[in-house]
Structure 1
Protein backbone atom coordinates (compact mmCIF):
# COMPACT_ATOMS: atom_id res chain seq x y z
CA UNK A 1 0.00 0.00 0.00
CA UNK A 2 1.54 3.29 -1.10
CA UNK A 3 0.81 6.49 0.77
CA UNK A 4 -0.06 9.69 -1.14
CA UNK A 5 2.86 11.99 -1.98
CA UNK A 6 0.74 15.04 -1.14
CA UNK A 7 -2.27 15.61 1.09
CA UNK A 8 -4.63 18.54 1.52
CA UNK A 9 -5.29 19.60 5.11
CA UNK A 10 -8.54 21.51 5.66
CA UNK A 11 -8.16 23.69 8.77
CA UNK A 12 -11.44 23.73 10.71
CA UNK A 13 -10.36 25.44 13.95
CA UNK A 14 -11.88 28.89 13.32
CA UNK A 15 -15.35 27.40 12.77
CA UNK A 16 -15.72 23.84 14.03
CA UNK A 17 -13.12 24.41 16.74
CA UNK A 18 -14.41 27.66 18.22
CA UNK A 19 -18.17 27.27 17.83
CA UNK A 20 -18.68 25.46 21.15
CA UNK A 21 -16.59 27.86 23.25
CA UNK A 22 -18.69 29.32 26.07
CA UNK A 23 -16.93 32.69 26.33
CA UNK A 24 -17.52 35.06 23.41
CA UNK A 25 -14.36 35.38 21.33
CA UNK A 26 -13.92 38.85 19.79
CA UNK A 27 -13.96 39.10 16.01
CA UNK A 28 -10.42 40.56 16.07
CA UNK A 29 -9.08 37.34 17.64
CA UNK A 30 -10.87 35.14 15.09
CA UNK A 31 -9.61 37.32 12.24
CA UNK A 32 -6.03 37.13 13.50
CA UNK A 33 -6.33 33.35 13.82
CA UNK A 34 -7.58 32.99 10.23
CA UNK A 35 -4.86 35.35 8.97
CA UNK A 36 -2.16 33.36 10.78
CA UNK A 37 -3.50 30.14 9.26
CA UNK A 38 -3.58 31.71 5.80
CA UNK A 39 0.06 32.77 6.22
CA UNK A 40 0.96 29.23 7.36
CA UNK A 41 0.02 27.92 3.90
CA UNK A 42 -3.40 26.23 4.16
CA UNK A 43 -5.24 25.84 0.86
CA UNK A 44 -8.63 25.53 2.59
CA UNK A 45 -9.79 27.15 5.85
CA UNK A 46 -13.23 26.69 7.39
CA UNK A 47 -13.60 30.26 8.57
CA UNK A 48 -17.19 30.84 9.67
CA UNK A 49 -20.75 29.61 9.96
CA UNK A 50 -23.96 31.34 8.92
CA UNK A 51 -26.30 29.74 11.40
CA UNK A 52 -28.78 31.43 13.71
CA UNK A 53 -26.88 33.28 16.49
CA UNK A 54 -29.65 32.02 18.77
CA UNK A 55 -28.34 28.46 18.32
CA UNK A 56 -24.62 29.19 17.92
CA UNK A 57 -23.86 32.58 19.54
CA UNK A 58 -20.12 32.18 18.92
CA UNK A 59 -20.68 32.49 15.16
CA UNK A 60 -22.62 35.79 15.38
CA UNK A 61 -19.55 37.71 14.09
CA UNK A 62 -19.15 35.55 10.96
CA UNK A 63 -19.98 38.35 8.47
CA UNK A 64 -17.42 40.66 10.09
CA UNK A 65 -14.78 37.91 10.13
CA UNK A 66 -15.32 37.15 6.42
CA UNK A 67 -15.22 40.86 5.55
CA UNK A 68 -11.98 41.59 7.38
CA UNK A 69 -9.72 38.55 6.90
CA UNK A 70 -6.75 39.03 4.56
CA UNK A 71 -7.56 36.66 1.74
CA UNK A 72 -4.80 35.00 -0.21
CA UNK A 73 -5.55 34.22 -3.87
CA UNK A 74 -6.12 30.50 -4.37
CA UNK A 75 -7.13 29.83 -0.76
CA UNK A 76 -10.65 28.46 -0.29
CA UNK A 77 -12.48 30.08 2.65
CA UNK A 78 -15.41 27.84 3.59
CA UNK A 79 -18.56 28.55 5.61
CA UNK A 80 -21.26 26.31 7.02
CA UNK A 81 -24.73 27.05 5.60
CA UNK A 82 -27.73 25.18 7.05
CA UNK A 83 -30.39 26.86 4.88
CA UNK A 84 -31.05 29.49 2.19
CA UNK A 85 -30.81 32.34 4.70
CA UNK A 86 -27.36 31.06 5.58
CA UNK A 87 -26.49 30.69 1.89
CA UNK A 88 -27.49 34.29 1.14
CA UNK A 89 -25.26 35.48 3.99
CA UNK A 90 -22.43 33.31 2.63
CA UNK A 91 -22.91 34.78 -0.84
CA UNK A 92 -22.81 38.34 0.56
CA UNK A 93 -19.66 37.41 2.50
CA UNK A 94 -18.00 36.14 -0.71
CA UNK A 95 -17.43 32.63 0.64
CA UNK A 96 -15.51 30.35 -1.74
CA UNK A 97 -17.24 27.20 -0.54
CA UNK A 98 -20.44 26.39 1.34
CA UNK A 99 -20.77 23.32 3.53
CA UNK A 100 -23.98 21.31 3.98
CA UNK A 101 -24.30 18.38 6.35
CA UNK A 102 -26.16 15.19 7.10
CA UNK A 103 -25.74 12.23 9.45
CA UNK A 104 -25.15 8.59 8.63
CA UNK A 105 -27.17 7.65 11.72
CA UNK A 106 -30.96 7.74 11.58
CA UNK A 107 -31.16 8.07 15.40
CA UNK A 108 -28.76 11.04 15.40
CA UNK A 109 -30.73 12.78 12.64
CA UNK A 110 -34.04 12.31 14.48
CA UNK A 111 -32.63 13.44 17.85
CA UNK A 112 -30.73 16.42 16.47
CA UNK A 113 -33.07 17.85 13.84
CA UNK A 114 -36.28 15.82 14.22
CA UNK A 115 -36.31 14.40 10.73
CA UNK A 116 -34.99 11.46 8.75
CA UNK A 117 -31.62 11.46 6.97
CA UNK A 118 -33.39 11.61 3.60
CA UNK A 119 -35.50 14.60 4.70
CA UNK A 120 -32.50 16.41 6.18
CA UNK A 121 -30.54 16.16 2.93
CA UNK A 122 -33.56 17.09 0.82
CA UNK A 123 -33.68 20.37 2.77
CA UNK A 124 -30.31 21.28 1.26
CA UNK A 125 -31.49 20.97 -2.36
CA UNK A 126 -32.11 24.73 -2.71
CA UNK A 127 -28.74 25.57 -1.16
CA UNK A 128 -27.01 23.10 -3.50
CA UNK A 129 -28.73 24.53 -6.59
CA UNK A 130 -27.95 28.10 -5.54
CA UNK A 131 -24.27 27.21 -4.98
CA UNK A 132 -24.08 25.76 -8.50
CA UNK A 133 -25.80 28.83 -10.02
CA UNK A 134 -23.27 31.12 -8.36
CA UNK A 135 -20.27 28.85 -9.13
CA UNK A 136 -19.51 28.39 -5.43
CA UNK A 137 -17.91 25.12 -4.34
CA UNK A 138 -20.25 22.79 -2.49
CA UNK A 139 -19.00 20.45 0.22
CA UNK A 140 -21.05 17.82 2.01
CA UNK A 141 -20.24 16.55 5.48
CA UNK A 142 -21.46 13.26 6.95
CA UNK A 143 -21.46 13.06 10.73
CA UNK A 144 -21.50 9.88 12.83
CA UNK A 145 -20.02 7.86 9.96
CA UNK A 146 -18.26 5.39 12.28
CA UNK A 147 -20.60 5.31 15.26
CA UNK A 148 -23.43 7.21 16.93
CA UNK A 149 -23.98 8.30 20.55
CA UNK A 150 -27.60 7.08 20.33
CA UNK A 151 -27.70 3.98 18.13
CA UNK A 152 -24.11 2.76 18.49
CA UNK A 153 -22.94 0.98 15.31
CA UNK A 154 -23.38 2.67 11.94
CA UNK A 155 -23.06 0.49 8.86
CA UNK A 156 -20.82 1.25 5.87
CA UNK A 157 -23.93 0.92 3.69
CA UNK A 158 -25.64 3.73 5.64
CA UNK A 159 -22.62 5.96 4.99
CA UNK A 160 -22.58 5.04 1.29
CA UNK A 161 -26.27 5.90 1.02
CA UNK A 162 -25.65 9.43 2.34
CA UNK A 163 -22.60 9.78 0.06
CA UNK A 164 -24.84 8.92 -2.91
CA UNK A 165 -27.47 11.50 -1.85
CA UNK A 166 -24.82 14.21 -1.45
CA UNK A 167 -23.27 13.27 -4.80
CA UNK A 168 -26.70 13.67 -6.43
CA UNK A 169 -26.95 17.18 -4.93
CA UNK A 170 -23.71 18.02 -6.75
CA UNK A 171 -21.16 18.08 -3.93
CA UNK A 172 -17.59 18.73 -5.07
CA UNK A 173 -16.11 17.13 -1.95
CA UNK A 174 -17.58 14.92 0.77
CA UNK A 175 -16.29 14.60 4.35
CA UNK A 176 -16.61 11.31 6.21
CA UNK A 177 -16.65 12.39 9.86
CA UNK A 178 -16.07 10.46 13.06
CA UNK A 179 -18.13 12.80 15.22
CA UNK A 180 -17.64 10.87 18.46
CA UNK A 181 -14.15 9.54 17.73
CA UNK A 182 -15.00 5.83 18.05
CA UNK A 183 -13.53 4.70 14.70
CA UNK A 184 -10.55 2.35 14.55
CA UNK A 185 -8.31 1.74 11.51
CA UNK A 186 -9.89 -1.43 10.08
CA UNK A 187 -13.43 -0.04 10.33
CA UNK A 188 -12.26 3.28 8.86
CA UNK A 189 -10.76 1.53 5.84
CA UNK A 190 -13.95 -0.48 5.26
CA UNK A 191 -16.13 2.65 5.42
CA UNK A 192 -13.83 4.69 3.17
CA UNK A 193 -13.65 1.91 0.58
CA UNK A 194 -17.44 1.56 0.62
CA UNK A 195 -17.90 5.36 0.30
CA UNK A 196 -15.53 5.31 -2.68
CA UNK A 197 -17.95 3.04 -4.57
CA UNK A 198 -20.34 6.04 -4.68
CA UNK A 199 -17.95 8.99 -5.09
CA UNK A 200 -14.40 9.56 -6.45
CA UNK A 201 -11.94 8.70 -3.68
CA UNK A 202 -9.74 11.71 -4.49
CA UNK A 203 -12.65 13.97 -3.46
CA UNK A 204 -13.49 12.16 -0.22
CA UNK A 205 -12.00 13.48 3.01
CA UNK A 206 -11.51 12.15 6.53
CA UNK A 207 -12.62 14.21 9.54
CA UNK A 208 -11.45 12.38 12.66
CA UNK A 209 -11.95 13.16 16.31
CA UNK A 210 -9.38 12.04 18.86
CA UNK A 211 -11.81 11.16 21.67
CA UNK A 212 -10.30 7.67 22.07
CA UNK A 213 -6.82 8.56 20.79
CA UNK A 214 -7.36 6.93 17.39
CA UNK A 215 -7.31 9.94 15.04
CA UNK A 216 -3.74 9.71 13.73
CA UNK A 217 -4.01 5.94 13.26
CA UNK A 218 -7.27 6.48 11.38
CA UNK A 219 -5.69 9.12 9.15
CA UNK A 220 -2.82 6.75 8.33
CA UNK A 221 -5.28 3.91 7.63
CA UNK A 222 -7.28 6.22 5.34
CA UNK A 223 -4.16 7.15 3.38
CA UNK A 224 -3.43 3.45 2.87
CA UNK A 225 -6.70 3.11 0.93
CA UNK A 226 -6.25 6.30 -1.10
CA UNK A 227 -7.73 9.18 0.93
CA UNK A 228 -5.62 12.34 0.61
CA UNK A 229 -7.77 15.08 2.20
CA UNK A 230 -8.06 15.46 5.97
CA UNK A 231 -9.62 17.93 8.39
CA UNK A 232 -7.88 19.07 11.53
CA UNK A 233 -8.09 21.85 14.07
CA UNK A 234 -5.26 24.10 15.23
CA UNK A 235 -4.39 23.47 18.91
CA UNK A 236 -6.99 20.67 18.89
CA UNK A 237 -9.76 23.26 19.29
CA UNK A 238 -13.25 21.86 19.71
CA UNK A 239 -14.11 19.36 22.39
CA UNK A 240 -16.42 16.44 21.73
CA UNK A 241 -19.98 17.51 22.68
CA UNK A 242 -21.06 13.88 23.22
CA UNK A 243 -18.27 12.79 25.56
CA UNK A 244 -17.84 15.10 28.54
CA UNK A 245 -14.31 16.42 28.86
CA UNK A 246 -13.08 14.45 25.86
CA UNK A 247 -10.91 15.87 23.11
CA UNK A 248 -12.66 16.42 19.83
CA UNK A 249 -10.97 17.41 16.59
CA UNK A 250 -7.53 15.99 15.93
CA UNK A 251 -4.93 18.73 16.29
CA UNK A 252 -3.40 20.15 13.12
CA UNK A 253 0.07 20.27 14.67
CA UNK A 254 -0.03 16.51 15.42
CA UNK A 255 -1.21 15.73 11.87
CA UNK A 256 1.49 17.92 10.31
CA UNK A 257 4.21 16.42 12.52
CA UNK A 258 3.20 12.95 11.29
CA UNK A 259 2.99 14.04 7.64
CA UNK A 260 6.42 15.68 7.84
CA UNK A 261 7.83 12.48 9.34
CA UNK A 262 6.33 10.45 6.51
CA UNK A 263 7.78 12.82 3.89
CA UNK A 264 4.28 13.73 2.67
CA UNK A 265 3.91 17.23 1.21
CA UNK A 266 1.23 19.45 2.79
CA UNK A 267 2.53 22.87 1.74
CA UNK A 268 2.03 24.03 5.35
CA UNK A 269 4.60 25.52 7.74
CA UNK A 270 4.35 23.53 11.00
CA UNK A 271 6.19 26.22 12.99
CA UNK A 272 3.67 28.88 11.93
CA UNK A 273 0.79 26.57 12.91
CA UNK A 274 2.37 25.97 16.34
CA UNK A 275 2.52 29.78 16.78
CA UNK A 276 -1.16 30.11 15.77
CA UNK A 277 -2.10 27.32 18.19
CA UNK A 278 -0.24 28.92 21.08
CA UNK A 279 -1.80 32.31 20.21
CA UNK A 280 -5.40 31.08 20.36
CA UNK A 281 -4.75 28.87 23.41
CA UNK A 282 -3.30 31.84 25.31
CA UNK A 283 -6.39 33.87 24.45
CA UNK A 284 -8.63 31.04 25.71
CA UNK A 285 -6.55 30.79 28.88
CA UNK A 286 -5.66 27.12 28.57
CA UNK A 287 -3.03 24.80 27.18
CA UNK A 288 -3.34 23.68 23.57
CA UNK A 289 -4.70 20.14 23.12
CA UNK A 290 -1.81 19.28 20.81
CA UNK A 291 1.04 17.06 21.88
CA UNK A 292 3.30 18.04 18.98
CA UNK A 293 2.38 21.73 19.28
CA UNK A 294 3.09 21.86 23.00
CA UNK A 295 6.31 19.84 22.67
CA UNK A 296 7.64 22.12 19.90
CA UNK A 297 6.65 25.25 21.86
CA UNK A 298 8.30 23.89 25.04
CA UNK A 299 11.49 23.07 23.13
CA UNK A 300 11.64 26.60 21.75
CA UNK A 301 11.03 28.14 25.15
CA UNK A 302 13.45 25.79 26.86
Structure 2
Protein backbone atom coordinates (compact mmCIF):
# COMPACT_ATOMS: atom_id res chain seq x y z
CA UNK A 1 0.00 0.00 0.00
CA UNK A 2 1.40 3.43 -1.01
CA UNK A 3 2.61 5.71 1.77
CA UNK A 4 0.89 9.11 1.89
CA UNK A 5 3.16 10.33 4.72
CA UNK A 6 6.86 9.43 4.79
CA UNK A 7 8.99 10.49 7.76
CA UNK A 8 12.73 9.87 7.45
CA UNK A 9 15.27 10.37 10.23
CA UNK A 10 13.31 13.14 11.95
CA UNK A 11 14.76 14.47 15.20
CA UNK A 12 13.88 17.55 17.22
CA UNK A 13 16.22 19.09 19.77
CA UNK A 14 15.18 22.32 21.50
CA UNK A 15 17.72 25.04 22.49
CA UNK A 16 17.41 23.88 26.10
CA UNK A 17 18.92 20.56 25.02
CA UNK A 18 15.65 18.63 25.31
CA UNK A 19 15.45 15.96 22.61
CA UNK A 20 11.74 15.73 21.83
CA UNK A 21 12.13 13.33 18.90
CA UNK A 22 14.94 10.89 18.16
CA UNK A 23 15.44 9.66 14.58
CA UNK A 24 11.80 8.89 13.73
CA UNK A 25 11.18 6.62 10.72
CA UNK A 26 7.53 6.23 9.80
CA UNK A 27 5.34 5.50 6.78
CA UNK A 28 1.59 6.08 6.98
CA UNK A 29 -0.44 4.31 4.31
CA UNK A 30 -3.00 6.01 2.13
CA UNK A 31 -6.56 5.45 3.30
CA UNK A 32 -5.78 3.99 6.74
CA UNK A 33 -6.59 5.08 10.28
CA UNK A 34 -3.28 5.30 12.13
CA UNK A 35 -3.25 5.78 15.90
CA UNK A 36 -0.19 7.24 17.61
CA UNK A 37 -0.13 6.29 21.28
CA UNK A 38 2.17 7.51 24.00
CA UNK A 39 2.19 9.03 27.50
CA UNK A 40 2.28 12.78 28.09
CA UNK A 41 5.54 14.28 26.84
CA UNK A 42 6.28 11.33 24.56
CA UNK A 43 6.57 13.51 21.44
CA UNK A 44 3.20 12.88 19.77
CA UNK A 45 2.21 16.52 19.26
CA UNK A 46 5.75 17.50 18.27
CA UNK A 47 5.78 14.85 15.54
CA UNK A 48 2.39 15.94 14.22
CA UNK A 49 3.47 19.58 14.29
CA UNK A 50 6.57 18.80 12.23
CA UNK A 51 4.60 16.78 9.66
CA UNK A 52 2.12 19.66 9.35
CA UNK A 53 4.91 22.21 8.91
CA UNK A 54 4.17 24.09 12.13
CA UNK A 55 7.45 23.15 13.84
CA UNK A 56 10.81 22.76 12.10
CA UNK A 57 12.68 19.50 12.57
CA UNK A 58 16.30 19.62 13.69
CA UNK A 59 17.11 16.95 11.12
CA UNK A 60 15.37 14.59 8.73
CA UNK A 61 12.66 15.04 6.10
CA UNK A 62 8.91 14.61 5.67
CA UNK A 63 6.90 13.99 2.51
CA UNK A 64 3.14 14.59 2.45
CA UNK A 65 1.53 12.99 -0.59
CA UNK A 66 4.94 13.10 -2.27
CA UNK A 67 5.65 16.77 -1.48
CA UNK A 68 8.44 17.88 0.84
CA UNK A 69 6.85 19.68 3.79
CA UNK A 70 9.64 22.30 3.80
CA UNK A 71 10.55 22.77 0.13
CA UNK A 72 6.97 22.47 -1.15
CA UNK A 73 5.22 23.80 1.93
CA UNK A 74 2.12 25.31 0.31
CA UNK A 75 1.31 22.24 -1.77
CA UNK A 76 2.10 19.79 1.03
CA UNK A 77 0.12 21.76 3.60
CA UNK A 78 -2.90 21.95 1.30
CA UNK A 79 -3.10 18.18 1.42
CA UNK A 80 -3.39 18.23 5.23
CA UNK A 81 -6.16 19.08 7.66
CA UNK A 82 -5.25 19.48 11.33
CA UNK A 83 -7.48 19.39 14.40
CA UNK A 84 -5.22 20.55 17.28
CA UNK A 85 -5.67 19.71 20.95
CA UNK A 86 -6.45 23.29 21.89
CA UNK A 87 -9.78 24.82 20.90
CA UNK A 88 -8.51 28.03 19.31
CA UNK A 89 -10.87 30.02 17.12
CA UNK A 90 -12.57 33.42 17.12
CA UNK A 91 -15.42 33.13 19.61
CA UNK A 92 -17.32 36.05 18.10
CA UNK A 93 -17.50 34.53 14.60
CA UNK A 94 -20.36 32.33 13.48
CA UNK A 95 -19.79 28.68 12.62
CA UNK A 96 -20.48 29.34 8.94
CA UNK A 97 -18.09 32.30 8.76
CA UNK A 98 -15.36 30.30 10.48
CA UNK A 99 -15.41 27.34 8.10
CA UNK A 100 -15.84 29.59 5.05
CA UNK A 101 -12.80 31.64 6.07
CA UNK A 102 -10.73 28.48 6.68
CA UNK A 103 -11.51 27.24 3.18
CA UNK A 104 -10.51 30.60 1.71
CA UNK A 105 -7.13 30.48 3.46
CA UNK A 106 -6.14 27.63 1.16
CA UNK A 107 -7.25 29.48 -1.96
CA UNK A 108 -10.23 27.21 -2.53
CA UNK A 109 -13.22 28.58 -4.45
CA UNK A 110 -16.54 29.01 -2.68
CA UNK A 111 -18.35 25.70 -2.18
CA UNK A 112 -21.43 26.22 0.03
CA UNK A 113 -22.83 22.78 -0.86
CA UNK A 114 -19.68 21.04 0.36
CA UNK A 115 -19.52 23.07 3.57
CA UNK A 116 -23.19 22.35 4.24
CA UNK A 117 -22.49 18.63 3.81
CA UNK A 118 -19.63 18.79 6.32
CA UNK A 119 -21.68 20.72 8.87
CA UNK A 120 -24.58 18.28 8.53
CA UNK A 121 -22.25 15.30 9.00
CA UNK A 122 -20.97 16.91 12.20
CA UNK A 123 -24.49 17.81 13.42
CA UNK A 124 -23.60 21.51 13.19
CA UNK A 125 -25.98 22.66 10.48
CA UNK A 126 -28.59 23.91 12.94
CA UNK A 127 -25.83 25.91 14.64
CA UNK A 128 -24.33 27.42 11.48
CA UNK A 129 -25.36 30.97 12.44
CA UNK A 130 -24.44 30.62 16.13
CA UNK A 131 -21.37 32.33 17.53
CA UNK A 132 -18.57 29.97 18.49
CA UNK A 133 -18.53 31.35 22.05
CA UNK A 134 -22.12 30.17 22.59
CA UNK A 135 -21.37 26.53 21.78
CA UNK A 136 -20.63 23.68 24.19
CA UNK A 137 -17.15 22.19 24.38
CA UNK A 138 -18.19 19.21 22.27
CA UNK A 139 -19.71 21.46 19.60
CA UNK A 140 -16.55 23.59 19.52
CA UNK A 141 -14.55 20.42 18.95
CA UNK A 142 -16.80 19.63 15.99
CA UNK A 143 -16.24 23.12 14.58
CA UNK A 144 -12.48 22.50 14.73
CA UNK A 145 -12.98 19.35 12.68
CA UNK A 146 -15.18 21.22 10.20
CA UNK A 147 -12.44 23.86 9.82
CA UNK A 148 -9.84 21.16 9.18
CA UNK A 149 -12.04 19.56 6.51
CA UNK A 150 -13.11 22.81 4.87
CA UNK A 151 -10.42 22.73 2.15
CA UNK A 152 -11.04 19.03 1.30
CA UNK A 153 -7.72 17.56 2.51
CA UNK A 154 -6.58 14.01 1.72
CA UNK A 155 -4.89 13.66 5.13
CA UNK A 156 -6.49 14.53 8.47
CA UNK A 157 -4.61 14.81 11.75
CA UNK A 158 -6.65 14.57 14.93
CA UNK A 159 -4.62 15.48 18.02
CA UNK A 160 -6.58 14.18 21.03
CA UNK A 161 -9.88 14.69 19.15
CA UNK A 162 -12.19 13.50 21.93
CA UNK A 163 -10.47 15.08 24.93
CA UNK A 164 -13.19 16.45 27.20
CA UNK A 165 -15.95 15.04 25.01
CA UNK A 166 -18.75 12.94 26.51
CA UNK A 167 -19.12 9.26 25.64
CA UNK A 168 -22.07 9.71 23.27
CA UNK A 169 -20.36 12.43 21.28
CA UNK A 170 -17.16 10.38 21.20
CA UNK A 171 -19.04 7.51 19.57
CA UNK A 172 -20.54 9.90 17.01
CA UNK A 173 -17.08 11.20 16.16
CA UNK A 174 -15.70 7.68 15.76
CA UNK A 175 -18.48 6.99 13.27
CA UNK A 176 -17.65 10.19 11.40
CA UNK A 177 -13.95 9.29 11.25
CA UNK A 178 -14.76 5.88 9.79
CA UNK A 179 -16.91 7.59 7.18
CA UNK A 180 -14.04 9.88 6.20
CA UNK A 181 -11.72 6.88 5.87
CA UNK A 182 -14.30 5.14 3.67
CA UNK A 183 -14.26 8.24 1.44
CA UNK A 184 -10.49 7.95 0.99
CA UNK A 185 -9.21 10.32 3.69
CA UNK A 186 -6.16 9.12 5.61
CA UNK A 187 -6.66 9.63 9.36
CA UNK A 188 -3.84 10.03 11.87
CA UNK A 189 -4.91 10.44 15.48
CA UNK A 190 -3.22 10.74 18.82
CA UNK A 191 -5.23 9.71 21.83
CA UNK A 192 -5.08 8.98 25.54
CA UNK A 193 -8.14 6.75 25.19
CA UNK A 194 -6.76 3.31 24.44
CA UNK A 195 -10.24 2.02 23.55
CA UNK A 196 -10.35 4.69 20.84
CA UNK A 197 -7.35 3.13 19.10
CA UNK A 198 -8.68 -0.37 19.73
CA UNK A 199 -12.04 0.59 18.24
CA UNK A 200 -10.88 2.45 15.14
CA UNK A 201 -7.23 2.05 14.19
CA UNK A 202 -5.92 -0.11 11.36
CA UNK A 203 -2.35 0.32 12.60
CA UNK A 204 -0.85 1.56 15.83
CA UNK A 205 2.40 3.32 16.61
CA UNK A 206 3.72 3.59 20.17
CA UNK A 207 6.07 6.45 21.01
CA UNK A 208 7.94 7.00 24.27
CA UNK A 209 10.53 9.64 25.17
CA UNK A 210 10.75 10.73 21.54
CA UNK A 211 11.46 7.26 20.17
CA UNK A 212 9.11 5.14 18.14
CA UNK A 213 8.96 1.79 19.93
CA UNK A 214 6.95 0.01 17.27
CA UNK A 215 4.51 0.34 14.40
CA UNK A 216 2.22 -2.63 13.97
CA UNK A 217 -1.16 -3.62 12.60
CA UNK A 218 -3.65 -3.63 15.47
CA UNK A 219 -4.61 -7.28 15.07
CA UNK A 220 -0.98 -8.36 14.65
CA UNK A 221 0.04 -6.37 17.73
CA UNK A 222 -2.61 -7.97 19.90
CA UNK A 223 -1.76 -11.38 18.47
CA UNK A 224 1.95 -10.90 19.14
CA UNK A 225 1.78 -9.33 22.60
CA UNK A 226 -1.73 -10.04 23.84
CA UNK A 227 -1.55 -12.93 26.28
CA UNK A 228 -4.75 -14.96 26.44
CA UNK A 229 -6.52 -16.80 29.23
CA UNK A 230 -8.78 -19.84 29.15
CA UNK A 231 -11.02 -20.08 32.22
CA UNK A 232 -12.62 -23.43 33.10
CA UNK A 233 -15.51 -23.67 35.54
CA UNK A 234 -14.97 -27.05 37.20
CA UNK A 235 -17.69 -29.60 37.93
CA UNK A 236 -16.15 -30.32 41.31
CA UNK A 237 -13.85 -27.98 43.23
CA UNK A 238 -10.19 -28.90 43.64
CA UNK A 239 -8.35 -28.54 46.93
CA UNK A 240 -5.09 -28.12 45.00
CA UNK A 241 -3.66 -28.75 41.56
CA UNK A 242 -2.16 -32.23 41.08
CA UNK A 243 1.65 -32.25 41.02
CA UNK A 244 1.55 -33.40 37.38
CA UNK A 245 0.33 -29.91 36.39
CA UNK A 246 3.13 -27.99 38.14
CA UNK A 247 4.85 -27.23 34.81
CA UNK A 248 1.67 -25.79 33.25
CA UNK A 249 0.87 -22.05 33.34
CA UNK A 250 -2.23 -22.76 35.43
CA UNK A 251 -3.78 -20.97 38.39
CA UNK A 252 -6.53 -22.29 40.63
CA UNK A 253 -9.03 -19.92 42.21
CA UNK A 254 -9.12 -19.65 46.00
CA UNK A 255 -12.40 -21.58 46.19
CA UNK A 256 -11.11 -24.28 43.83
CA UNK A 257 -13.97 -23.82 41.35
CA UNK A 258 -12.08 -22.12 38.50
CA UNK A 259 -8.96 -23.14 36.64
CA UNK A 260 -7.21 -20.54 34.47
CA UNK A 261 -4.77 -21.46 31.71
CA UNK A 262 -2.45 -18.68 30.46
CA UNK A 263 -1.19 -18.97 26.89
CA UNK A 264 -0.13 -17.06 23.78
CA UNK A 265 -0.78 -17.52 20.08
CA UNK A 266 2.23 -19.82 19.64
CA UNK A 267 1.01 -22.30 22.25
CA UNK A 268 -2.70 -21.92 21.51
CA UNK A 269 -3.34 -25.11 19.53
CA UNK A 270 -0.94 -27.70 20.95
CA UNK A 271 -1.05 -26.38 24.52
CA UNK A 272 -4.83 -26.36 24.92
CA UNK A 273 -5.28 -29.76 23.30
CA UNK A 274 -2.64 -31.25 25.58
CA UNK A 275 -4.20 -29.59 28.64
CA UNK A 276 -7.65 -31.04 27.91
CA UNK A 277 -6.14 -34.49 27.41
CA UNK A 278 -4.31 -34.35 30.73
CA UNK A 279 -7.36 -33.05 32.59
CA UNK A 280 -9.42 -35.93 31.24
CA UNK A 281 -6.78 -38.42 32.32
CA UNK A 282 -6.99 -37.08 35.89
CA UNK A 283 -10.77 -37.08 35.92
CA UNK A 284 -11.05 -33.30 36.15
CA UNK A 285 -14.27 -32.26 34.40
CA UNK A 286 -15.50 -28.75 33.60
CA UNK A 287 -19.02 -27.44 33.08
CA UNK A 288 -18.26 -24.18 31.31
CA UNK A 289 -15.35 -22.33 29.73
CA UNK A 290 -14.55 -18.93 28.27
CA UNK A 291 -11.47 -17.18 26.94
CA UNK A 292 -10.19 -13.62 27.34
CA UNK A 293 -7.34 -11.68 25.77
CA UNK A 294 -5.12 -8.98 27.17
CA UNK A 295 -6.48 -5.61 26.15
CA UNK A 296 -4.62 -3.06 24.07
CA UNK A 297 -4.37 -0.91 27.21
CA UNK A 298 -2.44 -3.63 29.02
CA UNK A 299 -0.15 -4.07 26.01
CA UNK A 300 0.44 -0.30 25.88
CA UNK A 301 1.34 -0.13 29.58
CA UNK A 302 3.72 -3.04 29.11
CA UNK A 303 5.42 -1.36 26.15
CA UNK A 304 5.98 2.04 27.75
CA UNK A 305 7.12 0.77 31.15
CA UNK A 306 10.83 1.26 31.86
CA UNK A 307 11.30 -2.45 32.42
CA UNK A 308 9.91 -3.44 29.03
CA UNK A 309 12.64 -4.26 26.47
CA UNK A 310 11.86 -3.11 22.94
CA UNK A 311 14.46 -5.07 20.98
CA UNK A 312 13.01 -7.41 18.40
CA UNK A 313 9.64 -5.68 18.09
CA UNK A 314 8.35 -4.84 14.62
CA UNK A 315 8.64 -1.27 13.34
Alignment TM class, shorter chain as reference: 0.3 to 0.5
More strand by share: 2
- Give TM-score, length-normalised by structure 2: 0.39
Task: From the CA coordinates, give the structure whose radius of gyration is larger.
Answer: 2
- Whose helix proportion is higher, 1 or 2? 1
Compute the TM-score of the two structures, normalised by the length of structure 1.
Answer: 0.40
